[in-house]
Amino acid sequence: MARNGDGQGSGREPDGTARHERARASGRRGTRKRAPGPERKKTARADAPLSALLRVPPGRPVDLSSYDPRATPGGPPDKAAALAETALAGRRLSDLQERLYAAGTAGDRRRLLVVLQGMDTSGKGGTVKHVAGFLNPAGCRITAFGTPTAEELGHPFLWRVMRALPGPGEIGIFDRSHYEDVLIARVRRLVPRERIDRRYDQINRFEESLAEDGVTLVKIFLHIGPEEQRERLLRRLDDPRKRWKFDPADIGERARWPAYRKACERVLTRCSTAAAPWFVVPADRKWYRNWAVCRLLVEHLEALDPRFPEAGYDVAKCREFLLAGA
């Protein structure tokens, strides 16, 4: 897999929230003195960049049982507030995407790749639908990775992912990804365990090479609990409009929940790097999930700070020609 690269990446982490968020936080600080103790700690967390709250530190073992899937770290107080703030974040996301796309037309090679992983029913498809609604399709590339085709199985496991990467100025969104080859493949024992272990290092080298080539990776693990998954599966069965989403095999897969959780923990532990960290988003509450994903994308794009390119022509002369009736 020489194409994967083995250089050391230098991924960029967002270093602040949006300007309007900072202003709002500053306004709150100026109104009254904060109380000490738990209340102050809670407010401080709310003012921190969301990426700092949800990021999985590289090299630290991950135990998903210590993450509450119903938690709302750094989030709005309730659903109504979340919907309003998500709409604002969506407008900011749309503006930043336009700037990134415009910069790409002028030779800027930077782009954003969002990787969504999670248990069945965690909301990967719903997140894609929600986030994509804020984006211009011309600059967005969405890929859903299902069971590998015969052609894909005839190539190294990263081959199909390489073909779907976003181009300069684009935002790519993966609904599932190359991580299926160390998740499902591990749980179902589709390949030898030693090959799975090698794949973690291959993935890290691959992602580091992407970061070196101007790709900002935002890897998001949508974390739901088994009880919430059961309720979502039942809702699919109870609603004729959603039964097409249900597969009886989903029931059998629930029996493998502990094995899938361990496989996910291993991925989060082995593959959260400085170049491409993982972010664990509690996803039992859909309103928080959607808000958090939008905020993460906004923070990363603001860290890139894409700019509209300067005109490569004489603006005044072009205006003169048009005003003269050209």
Listed by start position, the domains of the chain span 2-323
The CATH fold of domain 2-323: Rossmann fold (3.40.50)
Each residue's pLDDT, cut to its tens digit, for the chain (326 residues) gives 333 333 333 344 444 433 344 444 444 444 333 333 333 333 334 568 999 999 999 999 999 999 999 999 999 999 999 999 999 999 999 999 999 999 999 999 999 999 999 999 999 999 999 999 999 999 999 999 999 999 999 999 999 999 999 999 999 999 999 999 999 999 999 999 999 999 999 999 999 999 999 999 999 999 999 999 999 999 999 999 999 999 999 898 999 999 999 999 999 999 999 999 999 999 999 999 999 999 999 999 999 999 999 999 999 999 999 999 87
- Convert 220-235 to b/e letters by CB count within 10 Å (16 or more is b): bbbbbbeebbeebbee
Inter-CA distances, 252 with 131, 184, 249, Å: 31, 14, 5
Q: How far apart are CA 228 and CA 213, in angstroms?
A: 39
Q: In angstroms, what CA-CA distances link 265 with 15, 97, 183, 251?
A: 26, 32, 10, 22
Q: How many Å is the maximal CA-CA distance in the chain? A: 75
The token duo for 12 is 């960029």
Tokens of 168: 């300069």
Are residues 57 and 89 in contact, defined by beta-carbon separation less than 8 angstroms?
no
- pTM given for the model: 0.85
Burial class (CB in 10 A: 0-12, 13-18, 19+), 289: buried
DSSP for residue 72: -
Cα separation of 183 and 171, whole Å?
A: 25
